[in-house]
Homo-oligomer: A and B are copies of this chain.
Amino acid sequence: MAIEQKLQKFQCIKRSTRGTINIDPLQRGGILTDEAREALIEWGDGYSICDFCPGVLDMIKTPPIFDFIHKALPEFLGTDHARVTNGARESKFAIIHSMAKEGDWIVLDQSAHYTSFVAAQRTRLNIKAVPNSGSPDYRTTPEGYLDAIQEIIKETGKPPALALVTYPDGNYGNLPDVKKIAAVCHEHDVPLILNGAYSVGRMPVNAKYLGADFIVGSGHKSMASSGPIGVLGVSEEYSSKVFEKSPTHKVKEIEMLGCTARGATIMTMLASFPKVFERTKHWDSEVENARWFSSQLESLGLVQMGDKPHNHDLMFFEAPILFEISQTAKDGRYFLYKELKARKIHGIKAGLTKFFKLSTFGVPRDDLKVVVDAFDEIINS
C-alpha cells in the first residue's frame, strides 16, 4: 500500500461515543460550552493568540489573556497569583520542581492521583504517602498528615519540603478536611499544595479559605476547556520562587518554559469561564443529584464507597451482584460494558464489574434515570 494511502486513516476520524450518555469521571467537567466551541474554530491555528504578544503569554492584552490570568483567575482560585499551564500535572510539577530539590521529602495522600506521584518522582523526591482509612470510607485525615510529617522529622531531622492533598481524590470523590490538614502542615512549616483537578471549575473552592499555599486545577477535567490546559495558583510568599525568571531572557519564567498554553486551549478556557464561574454557584444541586443517584444504585444492591452522604459527583461503587452475573454472562467481564453500550451509556471502563467509578456531573436528572433504569434491567432481567 502506498504511504499516502496508509496515512489517510489519520484524517476524518469520528468519535464513536458521540450521542451517548457519558458518565466518565474524566470527561464530565470538560465538555465544552458553545462559546468554547466557537473559540476553538476562531483561534484554532497554531500560535493564533500571539498576534499581539508583548513577550510572554500571561501579558497578552489582545485577546484579554492578561485580565484573565492576573485578575479573574486569582480571584476565582483565592490566590495572590495565578498562571495557566498545560494541565494540573504540569502545574504540580512546576511547584514541586521549583520548591524542592532532589532527595527532599514530600507528603501526599495515598489517594492522590498518579500524576502527583510522578511529578514528585520527576523531581527525584522521596515520597511518604498518608494512608487512607481503607474500605468502606477511604478517608484521608489530618492525623495521617501529622504522623507522616513527624515521621519524616524523626528520620531526617527536618520537615518535608512540601505536602499535597487531593480534593477530592479521583477514585472515591472524597473531600478531606483541608483546613485542618493545612493547619497541621503550617504548624510544621510545610507548604501545602491543593490538587483541585476535580473541584476547581465544578464547585466553590478557595485556596486562601482552605489554607493552601498552592492550588492546581484542570481545564479539560473541570473547566469546560479543550485540553491540555490547567491552572496554577500561588501565594505571594512563594511566587518569586515558582515564577523565577530566566537570567538570560528576563521576561521568561523558567518553570513555565516561557509560555505554556500557547494556543486555542487558553481561548476555550476564557470562553467557558463565565459559565464555569456560574456553575460553581449551583454545586448544591450537583451534590443532590449525586446523592439521589447513589441511593438509587444502592437500592439495586450496589454499594457506594467513600464519604456518605456523598459530597461530590465522582463516585465509586462496589457491585458484587454484577460480578456474580459476569461469571456466567456470555461476554464475561465485558458484559456490563456491552449492556451499557447497547443502551447508549458510556464511561464505565470496559471489563469492570466488581467495582467501578462514574460521575453524575452536569448529567440531567432524566439521563440519570436512564442510567438507573439500565442498571435495574441489567440486574433484574
Q: Which residues of B contact A90 (CB under 8 A)?
A: 86, 257
Contact B35 A11 (CB under 8 A): yes
Bound state CA distance, A16 and B42, in angstroms? 10
Q: Which residues of B contact A260 (CB under 8 A)?
A: 86, 228
Instruction: Choose the segment among A179-187, A217-225, A300-308 that binds chain B (4+ C-beta atoms closer than 8 Å).
Output: A217-225
Q: How large is the interface on A (under 10, 10 to 19, 20 to 34, 35 or more residues)?
A: 35 or more
Give A242-262 interface residues, CB cut-off 8 Å to B.
246-249, 252, 254-255, 257-258, 260-262
**Closest residue of B by beta carbon distance from A246:** B118
Give residues in A with beta carbon < 8 Å to B: 3-4, 6-17, 24, 26-27, 29-32, 35-48, 50-52, 62-64, 67-68, 72, 86-87, 89-90, 93, 97, 102, 114-115, 117-119, 121-122, 218-221, 224-229, 246-249, 252, 254-255, 257-258, 260-265, 267-268, 270-271, 273-274, 277-278, 346, 350
Q: Nearest chain B CB to A271's CB is how many angstroms away? A: 5
A228-B261, A257-B115, A257-B122 known; A10 vs B48 contact (CB < 8 Å): no
Bound state CA distance, A277 and B9, in angstroms? 14
Contact A93 B257 (CB under 8 A): yes
Q: Which residues of B contact A87 (CB under 8 A)?
A: 262
**Closest residue of B by beta carbon distance from A347:** B51
Given contacts A9-B64, A118-B254, 6 further A-B contacts (CB under 8 A): A37-B41, A40-B41, A86-B86, A87-B262, A118-B257, A220-B263
Q: Which residues of B contact A17 (CB under 8 A)?
A: 51
Q: Which residues of B contact A274 (CB under 8 A)?
A: 4, 7-8, 10-11
Contact A46 B226 (CB under 8 A): yes
Ranked nearest first, the 4 interchain pairs of A and B with the lowest CB-CB distance are: A30-B46, A46-B220, A227-B263, A10-B270
Bound state CA distance, A35 and B6, in angstroms? 16
| Residue with the highest number of chain B CB atoms closer than 10 Å, among A50, A63, A226 | A226
Q: Nearest chain B CB to A96's CB is how many angstroms away? A: 11
List 30 A–B pairs whose Cβ atoms lie within 8 Å, in order of A's numbering: A4-B278, A7-B72, A8-B274, A10-B270, A10-B271, A11-B274, A12-B38, A13-B64, A13-B270, A15-B63, A16-B62, A17-B51, A27-B46, A32-B45, A40-B40, A40-B41, A40-B44, A46-B219, A46-B224, A47-B221, A47-B227, A86-B260, A114-B252, A117-B249, A118-B246, A118-B257, A122-B255, A227-B262, A228-B265, A229-B263
